[in-house]
Amino acid sequence: RERAHVVYERKKQLNKLRVKAEKVAEEKLGAQLDILAPVKY
């Protein structure tokens, strides 16, 4: 039972980190797209 809780907590942390990483990646990609957009059109 305790172990299941630990696993659950760890998964929660990983999900938080993943969401954060995705947001950062999106912001970086967005910045790159802003730079590339004028070249395309």
Residue 40 pLDDT: 59
Q: When comparing pLDDT for 34 and 22, which is higher?
A: 22
Q: When comparing pLDDT for 6 and 37, which is higher?
A: 6
pLDDT, average across residues 22-41: 80
Q: Enumerate the domain spans of the chain.
A: 1-41
Q: pTM value? A: 0.58
Q: What is the pLDDT of residues 1-15, one digit of tens each?
A: 899 999 999 999 999
b/e sequence 3-40, b meaning 16+ C-beta within 10 Å: eeeeeeeeeeeeeeeeeeeeeeeeeeeeeeeeeeeeee
